[in-house]
Chain A
Amino acid sequence: MKYLFTINLNLVCHVRTLHTSGWGQQQEAVAVESEPEPFSVFRTQETDPACQSEKHLGQFYTLPSAHFRPLFPHGLPYRYQQQVKTFNEACFMVRPPALEVISYLKKADYSKPALRYLFYGVKGSGKTMSLCHAVHFCYTQGWVVLHIPDAHLWVKNCKELLPSSYNSARFDQPLQATTWLRNFRTTNEHLLSQIKTKRRYVWTKRESTDEGRPLGELVNQGISRVKSSSDVVGALMKDLRLQSSQPGADFRLVVAVDGVNALWGRSTIKKENKSAVDLEELTLIHNLKKLMKNDWTGGAIITTLSQTGSLYTPKSAYLPQELLGETGFDSMDPFIPVSVPNYSEKEFESAYLYYLDRKWLQHPQSRTEDGKKELSFLSSKNPSMLDRICGFL
């Protein structure tokens, strides 16, 4: 049964590449004929991002559930998380920006300083999803994943602000640091026991972490002792950065930051005397900025711009120059900008068929040609708008 199905898929693949304009109608006909087969042409069996290539563009691949739970305790958009819960599966679309970055990651020379990739695009065009696709690739290759889900969350709505124990001029954010450390531990459980610390860290008079202890202990220390968690985060980042730069390192580090323009913007956190906190005074931001500099080797930095969570930026701004500002652009320069556009015709068709397959498009009119044209027009092929419109249809 399985072999029959793979042969059929190849035949159908040929059909797809030859007849692209009549692809939609033929697609419907093929899906109806091959009813017993569970998959269609908009899906691909290739679940390993390393093996995906241009012929898989526009197709959905399912994330194995063994990868999904540890990889994404944070970092996915909220609406997508709800979609995963509803459909009982996590599917990513293979799109050109993510594929481009993955190909660069495969070919890069890791003895040179880390390359910085920046996804930019209009609101809802799929930047965070492309970042998560690249992070999945790095995870399958066994890299250490340092994924900050949204840097904007660290510069606003801070409930607890403690003066830092390490440097009295700075401020700590224990709550955000502990949640992040917990998620970091879930993602990198299998690697934390293998990597050892290179320096001795003293937290208080009685507590310290010696050289040569596994990193897992450091992380547990930060989670259990909430007061020193921001310093633990800083120590972790420094250690990983130094270790991956060494020529004998057996792991590579990927730093994935969503909403990187928060690091050079403004913050709404206020000190007790009602004056605004400068971004350099926050330990987490200070350490993250040190990571973003390309003075270390043996890894990559993948980032996304985000206007939605950003503070004091106009809604229409989406280009790197506008969102990063002068200081941000100068610090990030040189970087590789990757534009994330709205869906193309083929990708739109693929998304439409996926929703049909998962029984998400229920309105009888949405299955007609007129309905499809109207969906394309109303959403202007923007992925998040299409998702919102199909939600109630």
Chain B
Amino acid sequence: MAASLSGLLKPWTPRVFLVRWSRYNPYYLEPEVRKEAYSQPESELSAEEKEQRELKMIRPIKAAASGVTSSVFSDPVLSKFINMMMEHGNKVLAREIMTQTLENIKKKQVEKYHKAPEGQKEEIECNPYTIFHQALKNCQPVVGLESIRKGGKIYQVPIPLSDKRRSFLAMKWLITECRDNKHRRTHMYEKLSQEVMSAFVHEGNVIRKKNELHKMAESNRAYAHYRWW
């Protein structure tokens, strides 16, 4: 619909513009945040990229969201996790919890590293980012269950999940597990770091939940043909 109407659309913004919403007029283009894109010389660009650049000189650009940075340390998976942890729009607090979690993981691992004998030092993973990403990967389910109604009865049918859905489920489970099933007097960053460290070695409640989902899907294999998409 936007394609057919783009001839009619002009660089127009309503008189009262709700800044926090992303309902921009489709005429507006996405901002380019990465620093590398601006340091490429003219000769290296292909024809399409040159066309894009020309277009960007004419068309208006959307304001960049507050969550994206051109910092070399920015990580889209981490930003998504912080957004999911955020409550009532308190991004400052969510980011603080995340940084404290990473610091806590790193502190424990580096302490272990410095106390370990020479031969075992290479086996200890000190990078909190690799630990976090690996733990999320370990928590992702392979198949999910969908309730499909057939002949008046509802069956739990195993279905393939998209990548986005899988990573969303892993992050959601991690957060709800830490919020609900831990001792109430521990700090969130402490709970999160414990859960992430156990997920890294395939232990803990989130991994257990993932495995139970897999077992349910395996037991309901017979109903797989109920899926029509």
Listed in ascending order, the chain A residues whose CB lies under 8 Å from chain B are 82, 85-88, 358-360, 362-366, 368, 370-371, 374, 391-393
Contacts and interface: CB of A to CB of B under 8 A. Distances in A.
A362 B127 CA distance: 5
B111 A86 contact: yes
Nearest to A87: B114
Interface in B89-118: 98-100, 102-103, 106-107, 110-111, 113-115
Contacts of A363: 73, 127, 129
Nearest to B130: A362
Interface string B51-77: 000000000000000000001110000
Contacts of A368: 72
Given A363-B127, A363-B129, 16 more contacts: A82-B107, A86-B107, A86-B110, A86-B114, A87-B114, A358-B110, A359-B110, A362-B126, A362-B128, A365-B72, A366-B73, A370-B72, A371-B72, A391-B99, A391-B103, A392-B103
Nearest to B99: A392
Nearest to A371: B72
Given A86-B111, A359-B110, A371 B129 contact: no
B95 to A, nearest CB: 10
A391 B107 CA distance: 8
Given A85-B111, A87-B110, A362-B106, A393 B126 contact: no
A374 B127 contact: no
Contacts of B128: 362, 392
B115 A88 contact: yes
Q: Is the interface of A mostly helix, strand, loop or mixed?
A: helix
26 contacts: A85-B111, A86-B110, A86-B111, A87-B110, A87-B114, A88-B114, A88-B115, A359-B113, A359-B114, A359-B126, A360-B106, A360-B110, A362-B106, A362-B126, A362-B128, A364-B127, A365-B72, A365-B73, A368-B72, A374-B71, A374-B72, A391-B103, A391-B106, A392-B99, A392-B103, A393-B73
Nearest to B111: A86
A393 B73 CA distance: 8
- Complex A-B, nearest 8 residue pairs according to Cβ-Cβ distance, in ascending order: A392-B99, A362-B127, A391-B103, A365-B72, A88-B114, A392-B102, A392-B103, A86-B111
Among A87, A88, A362, A364, max chain B CB count under 10 A is at A362
B129 to A, nearest CB: 6
Contacts of B110: 86-87, 358-360
Contacts of B100: 392
Contacts of A87: 110, 114
Among A87, A363, A364, max chain B CB count under 10 A is at A363
Contacts of A360: 106, 110
Interface residues of B, number: 19
Contacts, number: 49
A364 B127 CA distance: 9
Contacts of A362: 106, 126-129
A80 B99 CA distance: 18
A87 B129 CA distance: 20
B30 to A, nearest CB: 23
Contacts of B114: 86-88, 358-359
B39 to A, nearest CB: 11
A371 B128 CA distance: 17
Nearest to A83: B107
B161 to A, nearest CB: 30
Contacts of A359: 110, 113-114, 126
Among B73, B98, B107, max chain A CB count under 10 A is at B73
Nearest to B115: A88
A368 to B, nearest CB: 7
Nearest to B129: A363
Contacts of B129: 362-363
Contacts of B71: 374
A79 to B, nearest CB: 10
Contacts of B107: 82, 86
Contacts of B103: 391-392
A360 B107 CA distance: 8
Contacts of A82: 107
Contacts of A370: 72
A86 B111 CA distance: 5
Contacts of B102: 392
Contacts of A85: 111
Given A82-B107, A392-B102, A371 B115 contact: no
Nearest to A362: B127
A358 B113 CA distance: 10
A367 to B, nearest CB: 11
Contacts of A88: 111, 114-115
A370 B107 CA distance: 25
A126 to B, nearest CB: 21
Nearest to B107: A86
Interface in B152-210: none
A366 B129 CA distance: 12
A50 to B, nearest CB: 29
B169 to A, nearest CB: 26
Contacts of A366: 73
Interface in B114-150: 114-115, 126-129
A17 B204 CA distance: 53
A324 B111 CA distance: 40
Contact of B73 (A86, A358, A374, A391): A374
Among A374, A392, A393, max chain B CB count under 10 A is at A392
A366 B113 CA distance: 20
Interface in B73-88: 73
Contacts of B113: 359
